[in-house]
Structure 1
Amino acid sequence: MSAEWLSQVVLPWVLASVMMAMGLNLTGADFVRTWRHPRRVLLGTGLQMLALPLLAWGLVLLLPLPPLAAAGLLLVALVPGGATSNMFSYLVQGDLALSVSLTAIAAVLAPFTLPLVMGWNLELLGLTARGLALPYWHTVGQLLLVTLLPVLAGMLLRRSLPVRWLAWLLPKVKVFTGVAMIAVVAALFVSHAERLPALLSLETLAVLLLCMLGMTLGRQLARRLRLPHASVRAITVEVGVQNAGVAMMVAFVILQQPAIALVPLLYGLLMNVPVFLWMFACLWRDRQLAAAAERP
């Protein structure tokens, strides 16, 4: 399978299937329950949509990244979260309803905000002078097709299916879409391996810092606002874990710039390192607290 076929055809379809699977797990009650605590939603959304892009710009100004690599890092900071962040929230025993709601809100906003802000970013990086541009409405349409519309389709399908069918279908859909996304990222990694930055490179440092600083920012602000323990963990994940697949799709399919897609691809692989380390630390702490509570 050629790299072009993977990036231009397979990646968008797999992304749409992942977002549809997320929609299958959503109900209106999820949003109603979450919006009873609007401060949590506003904090998570504000950090995702405003603070994270500013944090990415701070890294671009701090690290002497090549312009195309800088564009890739800024693109990662603008994409909505995905099923991966919801999975990590579940594994770390975070507030899953809040996590899914934040992901869904980002999926609604990103098709309209990403092309606008990314267009400004390309101009600030001097890339528009090289003829690199992001057509606004074309990008909005493409993002709607692979993010928001599949989520809505999944929610509608959930309402139309009997409960026993859903109980049988949901675990299988989660496994299928998860395996498919991992397979596509792995295949893209192999097909572009010779062009990827070395593991000891500024690009690697930039993606790890973006993930770790985003998680730290989310955790510290949520704790300072004295949010519940589970909400702190959900916001930590949602701010630190971005949907690298959407960023790759924008770079490969819309911008037609594989060089910009390499940083999101690297991010999709390396973000798992700090997230898993933090997750294991949280679960170890939970076990220690549970053991202490059981002592007489």
Structure 2
Amino acid sequence: MSAEWLSQVVLPWVLASVMMAMGLSLVGADFARTWRHPRRVMLGTALQLLALPLLAWGLVVLLPLPPLAAAGLLLVALVPGGATSNMFSYLVQGDLALSVTLTAIAAVLAPFTLPLVMGWNLELLGLTTGGIALPYWHTVGQLLLVTLLPVLAGMLLRRALPATWHERILPGVKGFTGVAMVSIVVALFISHVERLPALISIETLSVLLLCLLSMLLGHGVARRLRLPHASARAITVEVGVQNAGVAMMVAFVLLQQPAIGLVPLLYGLLMNVPVFVWMFACLWRDRHPVPAVTQGR
């Protein structure tokens, strides 16, 4: 299977199936319960949509990244989270309803904000002079087709199915789409392995720093505001874990620039390192609790 077929055809379909599986897991009660604490939702959304892109720009300024690699890193910071962030929130006993709500908000906004901001980023990096451009409305349409519309389709399908059917098929659908997403990332990695930066490289460092620093930012701000541990963990994951599949689709399919897609591809593989370290630290903390402090709402 060629690299072009993987990135141009298989990746968008797999990404849409992952987002549809996320829609199958959403119910209106999740959002109603979360919006009783709007400050948590606004904080998580602001960190993801404003602070994370600024953090990525800080790394671009500080690290000697080539322009195309810098564009890939900035692209990662603009995409929403996905089913992966919800999974990690569940594993660390975070506020799953908050995690799903933040993911859903980002999925609604990203098709409109990503093309606009990424267009500015390409101009600031001087890449538009080389003919690299991201047409706004075409990109909006493509992102809607593979992100928001599949989520809505999943939610409608959940409402249409009997509860017993939903309970039976959802675990299998989640498992299948999860395996499919991992498989496509691994297949793309293998097909581009000769073009990927070395494991010890400035690109690898930038990816690890983006994930690590964004998680520290999310957790630090949430704890500074004395949010409950479960909410702080959900915000940490949502800010630190981005949907590399969306970033790869934008780079490979819409921009037609595999060189930009290599950094999101690296991110999809390497983000698991700091995330798993943090996850095990959370589990260790749960088994060795410290005296509780007063938590805000």
* Residue of structure 1 equivalent to 2:7: 7
For 2:61 and 2:277, the matched residues in 1 are separated by 28
Aligned-pair distance for 1:288? 1.8
1:29 maps to amino acid: A
Aligned-pair distance for 1:287? 1.2
* Residue of structure 1 equivalent to 2:143: 143
* Residue of structure 1 equivalent to 2:133: 133
For 2:2 and 2:36, the matched residues in 1 are separated by 48
* Residue of structure 1 equivalent to 2:246: 246
* Residue of structure 2 equivalent to 1:217: 217
* Residue of structure 2 equivalent to 1:260: 260
Give the TM-score normalised by structure 1.
0.98
Matched, 1:123 2:162: no
* Residue of structure 2 equivalent to 1:152: 152
* Residue of structure 1 equivalent to 2:284: 284
Aligned-pair distance for 1:126? 0.2
Mapping of 1:183-198 within 5 angstroms? 183-198=183-198
Q: Percent identity?
A: 85
Gaps of 5+ in 1: none
2:114 maps to amino acid: L
Aligned-pair distance for 1:289? 2.5
Offset from partner CA, 1:2-57 (integer Å, 9 cap, x none): 10000000000000000000000001111111111000000000000000000000
For 1:285 and 1:229, the matched residues in 2 are separated by 11
Large movers: runs of 4+ above 6 Å = none
Aligned-pair distance for 1:285? 1.2
* Residue of structure 2 equivalent to 1:270: 270
For 2:259 and 2:148, the matched residues in 1 are separated by 26
Matched, 1:66 2:62: no
Offset from partner CA, 1:99-129 (integer Å, 9 cap, x none): 0000000000000000000000000000000
* Residue of structure 2 equivalent to 1:87: 87
Offset from partner CA, 1:218-247 (integer Å, 9 cap, x none): 001000111111000000000000000000
* Residue of structure 1 equivalent to 2:111: 111
1:54 maps to amino acid: L
2:117 maps to amino acid: V
Give the TM-score normalised by structure 2.
0.97
For 1:249 and 1:133, the matched residues in 2 are separated by 15
For 1:187 and 1:157, the matched residues in 2 are separated by 30
1:154 maps to amino acid: G
1:172 maps to amino acid: G
Offset from partner CA, 1:198-222 (integer Å, 9 cap, x none): 1100000000000000000000100
Gaps of 5+ in 2: 293-297
For 2:206 and 2:71, the matched residues in 1 are separated by 12
1:117 maps to amino acid: V
SS in 2 for 1:249: helix
For 2:281 and 2:212, the matched residues in 1 are separated by 14
For 1:68 and 1:283, the matched residues in 2 are separated by 38
For 1:121 and 1:167, the matched residues in 2 are separated by 43
* Residue of structure 2 equivalent to 1:199: 199
Aligned-pair distance for 1:76? 0.2
* Residue of structure 1 equivalent to 2:23: 23
Matched, 1:55 2:55: yes
Mapping of 1:28-39 within 5 angstroms? 28-39=28-39
* Residue of structure 2 equivalent to 1:100: 100
SS in 2 for 1:132: coil
* Count of residues paired in the alignment: 292
SS in 2 for 1:200: coil
Aligned-residue RMSD, C-alpha: 1.1
